[in-house]
Structure 1
Amino acid sequence: MTAIEGWLEGGGALCTGQEHIENVDTEFFDLSNLRPDYNVYKAVYSLAYALNDMLHCKPGTGPFRGHSCATLQTMEPWQLIHYLQNVNFTTPFGDQVSFDENGDALPIYDVMNWLHLPDGQIKVQNVGEVKRSGFKSEELTIDEDKILECTSCPEDFWSNPQNDHCVLKKTEFLSYHEPLGICLTTASLLGTFICAVVLGIFFYHRRTPMVRANNSELSFLLLVSLKLCFLCSLLFIGRPRVWTCQLRHAAFGISFVLCVSCILVKTMVVLAVFKASKPGGGTILKWFGSMQQRGTVLALTCIQAGICTAWLVSSSPAPHKNMQYQNDKIVYECAVGSTIGFAVLLGYIGVLAVLSFLLAFLARNLPDNFNEARLITFSMLSFCAVWAAFVPAYVNSPGKYADAVEVFAILASSFGLLVALFGPKCYIILLKPERNTKKAIMGRLTINE
């Protein structure tokens, strides 16, 4: 039975000559992958070269026993393999075809470059090859003109989504133009304005018993220091500069120490006046005169100024580009320089605040005409609570939110002191003038300042 008869018996059909080759579904016509076809091509040509060498063998000079040659009629497979091992030719595409001592074809590996196209597809491009010669040496060939060249973007730039050019990284800092910055700026200016209004009220009514009984000089100084506290929060908003980084914590630390020092001295004066009202206590007031009060506030503030100076000289805060937070974003922040310096600055404010709270707490039950100690107790309690909550919130806040937390703590504590210490007094001065008399202040009336 011939092959054609077997094909027909198996259900095959003869060609009519009217078939279209485009409609034939076979792997040999799949143009999307020509590698198998190319291998078949090289195999056929290898056999052709081997047979050609065998047919050109001259009797008496052959490679086999007795220098014989092989013929097509008597050829054995091992004889053909002998000639295959010696095949060495180059295809029209530049590929060298040869075999090793085991009859295996020498491998050729393509070096492929994977390209990510803008439409999301991936294109594989041949940019070189690795091949082994008959001497077992490997040769790498790279066509550099076919590579997509990759270069690193500069420090302030980031690769675009298509990875074909560099774009400027986004910058992040607490800005005056964003809602958070606008709210904090408004609160700061509002607090400054309220301080100015209260200062005007106290100055206008400076000769009244309420203002004079509450140590008007320290009250004026306290209002000025609170105004500075509100204003120093503005240094934390906006792009960090060298001068803002150096000034923000120094201004904040000195302003708050000046404020807390005034409160501490006021509390000490309250206790001294009460002690002086008892028999044999008259001499204690000479230690708390106007000069002594101003000197104490100045000395306590100078200590903080010395801490800030040492901090700025040894390890000054400076602007810092934080690129570790997000790869495609630059977070501008002020590096504190010395963490110890920052901790000492905050710690000194905390010591004065706690001392003021303890003294005011001891004096909270004094007679009503010295009732300012109750207001100081409440104000310092809120002050300490705000700054105790500030530390963990500041440490765990990333980027610009760390500055926002610090500004919020400054504003919250400043508003707490302003409302607690001066709210009740302004209420009496403006709305209850009948209680702003010497008789009411020195009498036994219950005065809720």
Structure 2
Amino acid sequence: MWRTHPIHPNLKTHSIQCNRNASVPIPQELYEPGDLIIGGIASQVFFHHNPMHFRDQPSQMLIEEAIVDTKHYQHILALVFAVKEINHNPRILPNITLGFHLYDSYYSAHMTFKATLALLSSQHEHIPNYKCDVQNNLAAVIGGLGSQTSIHMATILKIYKTPQLSYGSVLSGGNDKPFSSWYKMVPNDNHQYKGIVQLLVRFKWIWVGLFVVDDDNGEMFLQSLIPLFSQNGICFAFINRIQKTNYIDGMIAIFLSKWDAFQSLMESKVNVLVVNGAPPSMEELSWHLHFVDLNAPIGKVWIVTAHWDFESKNYQREWDIQHFHGAISLTIHSNQPKGFRTFLQRVNPFWTKTDSFITEFWEQAFDCLLKESNGRKSDEPKPTCTAEEKLENLPGPLFEMSMTGHSYNIYNAVYAISHALHAILESSSKLRLEPWNLKAWQLNHFLRTISFNNSVGDAVCFDENGELIVGLDVTNWVTFPNNSFVRVKVGSLDPHAPPGKELKIQDENLVWHKWFAQVPPVSVCNDNCHPGYRKKKKEGEPFCCYDCVPCSHGKISDKKDMDDCIKCPEDQYPNKAQNECSSKSLSFLTYEEPLGIIVVSFILSFSLTTVFVLITFIKNHDTPIVKANNRSLTYILLISLLLCFLCSFLFIGHPGRVTCLLRQTSFSMVFSVALSSVLAKTITVVLAFMATKPGSRVRRWVGKRMANSIVLSCSFLQAALCTVWLISSPPFPYTDMKSLDDKMILECNEGSSMMFFCVLGYMGFLAIVTFTVAFFARKLPDSFNEAKFITFSMLVFCSVWVPFIPTYYSIKGKSMVAVEIFSILASSAGLLGCIFSPKCYMIVMRPELNDRHHLIPRKYQ
């Protein structure tokens, strides 16, 4: 009697008599019986064949040659090794034997569907939903290597909710439902895309080329990576799409059509090439690199994704791989289980009778023919395999003795299934659930919740999306002239680390291509903009291509490739190279500097001169010259001029609060007294001569009272203006940061410019009135007349203060202070010299003329 079992609880049970010859078996197969079976879909063989047409029958497809990815045979051996290791472990699934059943996908959709259906059917019978007398207790399926293979498998397996553990590339978003039966043993591709960007940013590679497989996986790669490029200031010089080809004629046609373009890409100034691909889609790239230049490999930094590996076909074993020397890849994390290398050393063509993978592998890996396959025709005679060949003698591109990342994923997948089976059987022990009554869909809950450490101590658990929580290794590939290579782990990528700390890499361990003179190499569209310059975008070019222009006045750039120059802080200024800020020095007129010494010398000279004149007049106070035109006004004028000279000291030294209050107000008050005295002397002269006329009423106005009234009233008005100024908006110390590039000017701010001009304007008004009165009195008799001298002194005053205003506001710093000091000194010296020098000359040099008879004309005597 034949026994049937439904595979899915919602499917009805039917009975059918199985016939072992009902269908053609799949050539590549590896089977070992057990209480529970772990299925597997490997990707080792693909066919070079002529393209099919719809008019042809499928059976008429002529296979020209089967090409074996010899390196992928390790994936099969990793599954076998893990199953055998578990069967010898009494702590996992005791009293239960695991078996395995593996088929090849042949990188073909219809062969993948056929192999998946075969796993769901009885052995050698492609009739799903039935189990014959041969037990086929399928627990889960491991596969496949590529995204398309995994999707094709999932199309069937998801119907039965059979757990599928993909050990290779899976399209992001392909099946991310949290409660599906699809589990990914690799991290989400978005993690490695971010890792690639972080790697480029770390080495400042902003001008890169992209090689992308021309399929859905490649499009997803571009859609994810290009926005990340833009966000991190990275541009791509070109995108070269790698065609997926399955037949040799198409490969050659594509190769010839793209030869010139590929040659120019390799010789471009792009030093970093990012490659997305997986076997066998990298075939075209290998063809091109082989024929670019065998004698002088062009140095590039190849950054490859986790699903690409250094591998060669049988016909490529002599091809030079020096182009890839120093390549960097984000590889799937791997470790080395104890005993795996020893297990590989025992593998030979006859290690098991059920392995139909090994024949094609052995012959192509060792380039020989096994005895039982000698009947096949070959273009070139090959030696007979001795079966004594050792896997460890094969070069790395053909086979590796250390467990690769994909093999390690398979190893962990077997252990994940085993731990889930162990958990479900332990939880169902009271029900006495037998292995052959176990349904595959029952494992899903346990697979999502398991968490354990494998034999080498790595944690194995899945997240809510069924993805293994694992990082990536940063691997540096070091190649040798004999076509061997070494994987050097130089860092890691932990997607679950805090932002900015995901990528860890030891730069000092990196090996670069010998073609590069500078390490690490640079890859930019143009030379960097050095400090002192900024970037200026080139029209019609990517943003990574730019010109370098100097920073504008007052700005700096202290780093390379700055988008814009920055202003220095207010207390600093750009240096000549405009690449750093220097501290500004304080600027104010000091006593120690040459200009200050000159100013002090003038102040002391004029002050001493004024004192000398005053002493001279005091000593000769009874002489006619001194007594003429009001002796008191003369003393007031001399004292006010002395104070004007001394007021200049307030403008020298560090400006303080008191000095700022006194600078302008004290000078304006004292100078107003001087001008009032001159005005009073002038009016006195005019009134004195008008009073000499008979019967003149002006006589009563001539005297000290009128002169003092003029001085007091005119000075009072200026005092009132100064008082209003000090109350409303007094001057204050101020630091001017902006007027001079390299200095901070310490000065006194006037507080109210309007009041400052009112004070100056009032002194100008007094000067104009005095000049007008003196001008009209200039022709009176000389002996008693000072009007001529006063007229000249007012001309000096006006010639000094009229150009003062525009000059004062056109310069800054100590020069502005010096201008005001010299204006004070010049105008005061003008009054002193024009009015008193003639009198001093007569008193000192011609005392005989200082007599009343000489000073008064005869008609007035």
TM-score (normalizing by structure 1): 0.70
Q: CA deviation at 1:159?
A: 8.6
> Any conservation in 2 of the 1:59–1:68 contact (CA below 8 Å)?
no
Q: 1:372 aligns with which of 767, 781, 786?
A: 786
Q: CA deviation at 1:169?
A: 3.2
Measured in 1, the distance between the counterparts of 2:661 and 2:820 equals: 15
Residue of structure 1 equivalent to 2:824: 410
Secondary structure of the 1:280 match is coil
Decide whether aligned partners of structure 1 residues 157 and 359 sit closer, same or farther in structure 2, where only a CA change above 3 A counts: same
Residue of structure 2 equivalent to 1:14: none
Q: 1:230 aligns with which of 626, 645, 653?
A: 645
Q: 2:610 aligns with which of 195, 210, 213?
A: 195
Decide whether aligned partners of structure 1 residues 380 and 52 sit closer, same or farther in structure 2, where only a CA change above 3 A counts: farther
Q: CA deviation at 1:292?
A: 2.1
Decide whether aligned partners of structure 1 residues 244 and 210 sit closer, same or farther in structure 2, where only a CA change above 3 A counts: same
Residue of structure 1 equivalent to 2:140: none
Q: CA deviation at 1:215?
A: 1.9
Residue of structure 1 equivalent to 2:844: 430
Residue of structure 2 equivalent to 1:254: 669
Residue of structure 1 equivalent to 2:332: none
Decide whether aligned partners of structure 1 residues 350 and 52 sit closer, same or farther in structure 2, where only a CA change above 3 A counts: farther
Secondary structure of the 1:326 match is coil
Q: CA deviation at 1:369?
A: 2.4
> Any conservation in 2 of the 1:81–1:103 contact (CA below 8 Å)?
no
Measured in 2, the distance between the counterparts of 1:60 and 1:370 equals: 131
Q: Deviations over 1:112-153 (max 9, x none)?
A: 9xxxxxxxxxxxxxxxxxxxxxx9xxx995369x9x9xxx99
Question: What amino acid maps onto 1:299 in structure 2?
Answer: S
Question: What amino acid maps onto 2:170 in structure 1?
Answer: N
Residue of structure 2 equivalent to 1:171: 586
> Any conservation in 2 of the 1:304–1:345 contact (CA below 8 Å)?
yes
Correspondence 1:259-298 to 2 at 5 A: 259-281=674-696, 283-298=697-712
Secondary structure of the 1:142 match is coil
> Any conservation in 1 of the 2:146–2:170 contact (CA below 8 Å)?
no
Decide whether aligned partners of structure 1 residues 59 and 310 sit closer, same or farther in structure 2, where only a CA change above 3 A counts: same
Measured in 1, the distance between the counterparts of 2:802 and 2:788 equals: 21
Higher relative contact order (CA 8 A, sep 6+): 1
Question: What amino acid maps onto 1:64 in structure 2?
Answer: A
Measured in 1, the distance between the counterparts of 2:616 and 2:688 equals: 26
Residue of structure 1 equivalent to 2:595: 180
Q: CA deviation at 1:394?
A: 0.3
Decide whether aligned partners of structure 1 residues 153 and 357 sit closer, same or farther in structure 2, where only a CA change above 3 A counts: closer
Measured in 1, the distance between the counterparts of 2:644 and 2:71 equals: 95
Question: What amino acid maps onto 1:58 in structure 2?
Answer: Y
- Does residue 58 in structure 1 map to residue 103 in structure 2? yes
Measured in 2, the distance between the counterparts of 1:80 and 1:60 equals: 10
Secondary structure of the 1:324 match is coil
> Any conservation in 1 of the 2:650–2:659 contact (CA below 8 Å)?
yes
Residue of structure 2 equivalent to 1:103: 218
Question: What amino acid maps onto 2:500 in structure 1?
Answer: I
Question: What amino acid maps onto 2:110 in structure 1?
Answer: R
> Any conservation in 2 of the 1:215–1:266 contact (CA below 8 Å)?
yes
Residue of structure 1 equivalent to 2:633: 218
> Any conservation in 2 of the 1:369–1:444 contact (CA below 8 Å)?
no
Q: Deviations over 1:199-233 (max 9, x none)?
A: 00000011111111132111111000000110111
Measured in 1, the distance between the counterparts of 2:629 and 2:115 equals: 129
Measured in 1, the distance between the counterparts of 2:670 and 2:70 equals: 97
Decide whether aligned partners of structure 1 residues 172 and 50 sit closer, same or farther in structure 2, where only a CA change above 3 A counts: farther
Q: How many residues align?
A: 361
Measured in 2, the distance between the counterparts of 1:362 and 1:158 equals: 57
Q: Deviations over 1:242-285 (max 9, x none)?
A: 1000101111110110000000000000000111112222x313
> Any conservation in 2 of the 1:63–1:69 contact (CA below 8 Å)?
no
Measured in 1, the distance between the counterparts of 2:577 and 2:721 equals: 52
Decide whether aligned partners of structure 1 residues 143 and 322 sit closer, same or farther in structure 2, where only a CA change above 3 A counts: farther
Secondary structure of the 1:279 match is coil
Q: 2:654 aligns with which of 228, 234, 239?
A: 239
Q: CA deviation at 1:384?
A: 1.0
Q: CA deviation at 1:367?
A: 1.6
Unpaired runs of 5+ residues, structure 2, are: 1-68, 80-101, 117-144, 150-167, 172-185, 200-211, 234-464, 466-496, 505-558, 560-566
Residue of structure 2 equivalent to 1:142: 500
- Does residue 335 in structure 1 map to residue 450 in structure 2? no
Measured in 2, the distance between the counterparts of 1:364 and 1:52 equals: 123
Secondary structure of the 2:739 match is strand
Decide whether aligned partners of structure 1 residues 250 and 86 sit closer, same or farther in structure 2, where only a CA change above 3 A counts: same
Question: What amino acid maps onto 1:176 in structure 2?
Answer: Y
Q: 2:761 aligns with which of 327, 347, 352?
A: 347
Secondary structure of the 2:218 match is coil
Range with greater deviation from structure 2 (50-59 or 295-304): 50-59
Question: What amino acid maps onto 1:259 in structure 2?
Answer: A
Secondary structure of the 1:251 match is helix
Residue of structure 1 equivalent to 2:88: none
Decide whether aligned partners of structure 1 residues 354 and 161 sit closer, same or farther in structure 2, where only a CA change above 3 A counts: closer
Which is greater in Rg?
2
Q: CA deviation at 1:396?
A: 0.3
> Any conservation in 1 of the 2:691–2:702 contact (CA below 8 Å)?
no
Measured in 2, the distance between the counterparts of 1:315 and 1:48 equals: 93
TM-score (normalizing by structure 2): 0.38
Residue of structure 2 equivalent to 1:86: 170
Measured in 2, the distance between the counterparts of 1:317 and 1:49 equals: 88
Secondary structure of the 2:738 match is strand
Q: Deviations over 1:166-204 (max 9, x none)?
A: 975310011111111111111111111111000000000
Q: 2:773 aligns with which of 348, 351, 359?
A: 359
Q: What CA RMSD, in Å, does the superposition of the two structures yield over aligned residues?
A: 4.2
Measured in 2, the distance between the counterparts of 1:306 and 1:48 equals: 107
Question: What amino acid maps onto 1:190 in structure 2?
Answer: S
> Any conservation in 2 of the 1:51–1:80 contact (CA below 8 Å)?
no
Decide whether aligned partners of structure 1 residues 249 and 86 sit closer, same or farther in structure 2, where only a CA change above 3 A counts: same
Residue of structure 2 equivalent to 1:396: 810
Q: Deviations over 1:288-327 (max 9, x none)?
A: 3212211220111111011001001000100001111235
Q: Which has the higher helix share?
A: 1
Measured in 2, the distance between the counterparts of 1:48 and 1:250 equals: 100
Q: Deviations over 1:21-60 (max 9, x none)?
A: xxxxxxxxxxxxxxxxxxxxxxxxxx99999889997358
Q: 1:387 aligns with which of 788, 801, 809?
A: 801
Decide whether aligned partners of structure 1 residues 284 and 404 sit closer, same or farther in structure 2, where only a CA change above 3 A counts: same
Measured in 2, the distance between the counterparts of 1:279 and 1:48 equals: 142
Measured in 1, the distance between the counterparts of 2:107 and 2:575 equals: 68
Question: What amino acid maps onto 1:432 in structure 2?
Answer: R
Measured in 1, the distance between the counterparts of 2:501 and 2:146 equals: 37
